[in-house]
Structure 1
Amino acid sequence: MATSREMTAGRALPLIFNFTMPLLMGNLLQQTYSLVDAAFVGKFLGINALASVGASTSVVFLILGFCNGCCGGFGIPVAQK
């Protein structure tokens, strides 16, 4: 069962750290995936495939950033309800 945590009371630094760690770990895993993907594509498929992966990376980050922003924006009215 999920428990709720009061984020407005107590020491600020541990609260911010506990909130930030899952976000940081998700970003690190995403970067690791991109690095491993580029390494495998470059090694096994060649330089042209690696160039296409590099060209599409910014588009993927744009889409993921948009999705993260929408989820954060929709989280506000959901949390208020």
Structure 2
Amino acid sequence: MPITTLSSREFNQDASGAKKAATNGPVFITDRGQPRHVLLSIEEYRRLTGDRRSIVDALGMTGSEDIAFEPPRATIGSRPADLD
């Protein structure tokens, strides 16, 4: 996987070239010689992140309005403390 490095100036002058390079591997964009950003293809980004759903999305359960759910009533009893 080739790695491409561009200065911020080069990136600004040829953004389409940077996008093409990102299809082959990450494109590092430097500012004053230091890497500051990385341009990735969406496929590579999804591979790295696992394209996971957030917990909010997972618990949203679209269409769950029609599910009948009646949990049994909880009963909480007391018992003497075991101090032994």
TM-score range, shorter chain: under 0.3
Higher relative contact order (CA 8 A, sep 6+): 2
TM-score, reference length from structure 1: 0.22
Higher strand share: 2
TM-score, reference length from structure 2: 0.22
Higher helix share: 1
Based on CA coordinates, which of the two structures has the bigger radius of gyration?
Answer: 2
